[in-house]
């Protein structure tokens, strides 16, 4: 009997007394997409880390193509065909698509004999071109990853796995932060990668219920580190897990705090950036951008990777000084520094894990900003259970929650949120948006959201700013932006590769 490409038996990972993963057993078959689903903090990334060798398991075993691999170093696992996508594809954003693909080919590719290498050179070039074509990356081959949409950056990562000839793929949230159209294109692409190969096995950690529903042959549900359900496609349990998650998701009604046309604009407290020009050394990141954040509205700032969104947010929060242009609060200039004066003005920037202190515990992080009227632990019960844990060891989604919790605790007048939904389970995102809507509608706060999933951002906001390569392409009602698909290119080409 041929051994399955990957198998885990009674895999367990413990921290102190806490089981991040407990007794996980499964064999992953070839030509199969297995989705691993579960709430934030359920143990999904821990499982992938133990399978990939990034974390040593506390007990249990891993087999790769029948070989014991429990203590095998990650590079040896890679040589045996195990490939892993990064949760954040922007890790190597200074490289071009072509560079990163050829690196994957060289570093991860099966070793060839020295003599063969020369004669195979043209093969390598051919394979490189074929890969660019297969993944619809030809037109962006010489673009740096940082200038691509998150969707295309993620497809580039898949192309890396493909060209590395890995046959077991571990994918950690490939759809996170993608626009709907991009997820719709990703599904057939993933499917074709598995159907078109005799041996490829994909293990997919994913919060996006639609992607799971459209691609998975099998779904394993993790709850607090334990596999509580293991169901194949079409079974009643499969529908329970995938269907249930899907209908529960996105149940929040679209929220568009009304901007009153008759309202005297000058009477509304507003944070405004006017004609901002911002550079990093010689690189001009933002050119002539104007944005306004009035109290009582949720507005969004959207655009591809590297369009300058985070730069604008940092400037509004006083963390960067624009080379030209002004940042004003209620008409007067906001002193950009010292930072405390920005905080006093009620401007708060939340940027996921970047705005938590990794070496402080959850409760220490929250104590630093205590004073707000809001009980954030009611909003995030998960955090209540993890108060004594160091923030740096929280799961991706838990860190994101902590960042938002800290921001809300400061009771900001202007809340700037960079990448709200990244890595969060859909129900958590919806809960946060509901909370923001309540605060905004009661006139306590204005919100500016940077969001990769522009279709959601447009539903949540009343006004949209679309940035492309540092310039404002669009500013207007979100409803109008929804009718302008031309604003949101490039998404990768939606046809499934042959």
Chain positions 413 to 472 lying near ligand ATP, rule: CB under 6 A, are 423
Which of Mg ion, ligand ATP, none has residue 398 at its interface (CB below 5 to 8 Å by kind)?
ligand ATP
Residue (40 or 201) nearer to ligand ATP, CB: 40
The minimum distance between CB 394 and ligand ATP, in angstroms, equals 5
Is the C-alpha dihedral spanning 92, 97, 103, 105 positive or negative? positive
Question: Which positions ≥6 away from 252 have C-beta within 8 Å?
Answer: 430, 433, 434
Q: What residue number has its CB nearest to ligand ATP?
A: 397
Torsion of CA 157, 160, 166, 168, to 10 degrees: 10
Q: Does 342 bind ligand ATP (CB under 6 A)?
A: no
The minimum distance between CB 389 and ligand ATP, in angstroms, equals 5
Chain positions 244 to 263 lying near Mg ion, rule: CB under 5 A, are none
Which of Mg ion, ligand ATP, none has residue 389 at its interface (CB below 5 to 8 Å by kind)?
ligand ATP
Residue (227 or 467) nearer to Mg ion, CB: 227
Residue (218 or 287) nearer to ligand ATP, CB: 218
Q: Which stretch binds ligand ATP (CB under 6 A): 43-51, 59-67, 357-365, 468-476?
A: 43-51
Cβ atoms of residues 350 and 406 within 8 Å: yes
Residue (167 or 173) nearer to Mg ion, CB: 173
Q: Which stretch binds Mg ion (CB under 5 A): 67-75, 131-139, 370-378, 391-399?
A: 391-399
Which of ligand ATP, Mg ion, none has residue 38 at its interface (CB below 5 to 8 Å by kind)?
ligand ATP
Please give the DSSP secondary-structure letter assigned to residue 111: P
Cβ atoms of residues 223 and 39 within 8 Å: yes
The minimum distance between CB 303 and ligand ATP, in angstroms, equals 25
Which of ligand ATP, Mg ion, none has residue 324 at its interface (CB below 5 to 8 Å by kind)?
none
Residue (210 or 395) nearer to ligand ATP, CB: 395
Candidate list 41, 60, 346, 396; residue touching Mg ion; CB under 5 A: 396
User: Phi and psi at residue 140, in whole multiples of 5°?
Assistant: -115, 15
DSSP 393-442: GS-HHHHHHHHHHHHHHT--SEEEEESSSTT--HHHHHHHHHHHHHHHHT
Q: What residue number has its CB nearest to Mg ion?
A: 45
Q: With both helix axes pointing from N to C terminus, report the angle between 121-134 and 97-108 in degrees, rounded to the nearest 10.
A: 130
Torsion of CA 419, 423, 425, 429, to 10 degrees: -10
Pairing of the two strands 332-333 and 324-329: antiparallel
Q: Does 45 bind Mg ion (CB under 5 A)?
A: yes
Residue (54 or 65) nearer to ligand ATP, CB: 54
Cis amide leading into 490 (omega within 30): yes
Chain positions 385 to 424 lying near ligand ATP, rule: CB under 6 A, are 386, 389, 393-398, 423
Binding-residue pattern over the window 351 to 390 for ligand ATP, x denoting contact by CB under 6 A: -----------------------------------x--x-
d(CA 435, CA 227): 32
Contacts 24+ apart (CB under 8 A), 422-425: 422/176, 422/177, 422/352, 422/396, 422/452, 423/40, 423/87, 423/173, 423/176, 423/177, 423/207, 423/352, 423/396, 423/397, 424/40, 424/207, 424/397, 424/400, 425/39, 425/40, 425/207, 425/397
Residue (352 or 470) nearer to ligand ATP, CB: 352
Q: Does 42 bind ligand ATP (CB under 6 A)?
A: yes
Residue (393 or 411) nearer to ligand ATP, CB: 393
Question: Which positions ≥6 away from 378 have C-beta within 8 Å?
Answer: none
Residue (159 or 424) nearer to ligand ATP, CB: 424
Instruction: Name the site residues for Mg ion (rule: CB under 5 A).
Output: 45, 395-396
Instruction: Name the site residues for ligand ATP (rule: CB under 6 A).
Output: 15, 18, 20, 38, 40-46, 386, 389, 393-398, 423
């Amino acid at each position: 009997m041929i051994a399955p490409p990957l198998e885990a038996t009674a895999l367990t990972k413990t921290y102190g007394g806490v089981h991040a993963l407990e007794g996980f057993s499964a064999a992953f078959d070839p030509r199969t997409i297995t989705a691993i689903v579960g709430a934030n903090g359920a143990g999904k990334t821990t499982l992938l880390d133990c399978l990939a060798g990034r974390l040593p398991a506390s007990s249990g075993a891993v087999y790769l193509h029948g070989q014991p691999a429990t203590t095998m170093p990650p590079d040896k696992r890679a040589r045996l065909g195990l490939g892993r996508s990064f949760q954040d594809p922007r890790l190597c954003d200074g490289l071009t698509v072509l560079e990163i693909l050829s690196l994957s080919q060289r570093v991860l590719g099966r070793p060839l004999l020295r003599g063969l290498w020369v004669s195979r050179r043209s093969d390598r070039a051919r394979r490189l071109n074929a890969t660019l074509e297969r993944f619809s990356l030809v037109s962006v081959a010489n673009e740096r990853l940082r200038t691509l949409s998150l969707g295309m950056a993620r497809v580039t990562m898949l192309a890396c796995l493909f060209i590395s000839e890995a046959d077991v793929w571990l994918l950690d949230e490939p759809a996170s932060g993608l626009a709907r159209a991009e997820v719709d294109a990703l599904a057939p692409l993933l499917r074709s990668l598995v159907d078109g190969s005799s041996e490829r096995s994909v293990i997919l950690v994913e919060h996006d219920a639609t992607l799971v529903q459209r691609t998975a042959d099998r779904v394993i549900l993790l709850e607090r580190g334990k596999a509580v359900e293991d169901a194949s496609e079409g079974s009643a349990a499969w529908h329970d897990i995938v269907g249930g998650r899907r209908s529960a998701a996105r149940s929040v009604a679209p929220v568009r705090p009304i901007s009153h046309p008759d309202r005297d604009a000058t009477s509304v407290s507003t944070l405004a950036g006017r004609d901002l020009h911002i550079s990093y050394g010689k690189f001009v990141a933002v050119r002539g951008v104007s944005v306004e954040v009035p109290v009582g509205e949720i507005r969004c700032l959207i655009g591809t990777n590297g369009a300058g969104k985070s730069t604008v947010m940092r400037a509004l929060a006083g963390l960067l000084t624009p080379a030209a242009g002004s940042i004003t609060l209620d008409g007067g200039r906001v002193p950009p520094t010292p930072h405390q004066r920005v905080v006093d003005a009620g401007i708060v920037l939340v940027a996921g894990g970047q705005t938590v202190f990794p070496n402080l515990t959850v409760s220490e992080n929250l104590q630093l900003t205590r004073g707000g009227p809001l009980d954030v632990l009611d909003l995030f019960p998960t955090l209540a259970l993890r108060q004594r844990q160091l923030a740096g060891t929280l799961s991706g989604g838990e860190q994101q929650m902590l960042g938002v919790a800290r921001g809300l605790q400061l009771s900001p007048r202007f809340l700037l949120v960079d990448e709200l939904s990244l890595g969060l389970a859909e129900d958590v995102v919806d809960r946060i948006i509901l909370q923001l809507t309540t605060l905004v509608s009661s006139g306590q706060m204005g919100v500016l959201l940077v969001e990769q999933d522009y279709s959601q951002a447009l539903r949540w906001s009343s006004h949209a700013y679309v940035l492309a390569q540092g310039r404002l392409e669009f500013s207007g009602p979100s409803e109008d932006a929804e009718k302008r698909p031309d604003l949101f290119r490039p998404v990768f080409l939606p046809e499934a590769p042959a």
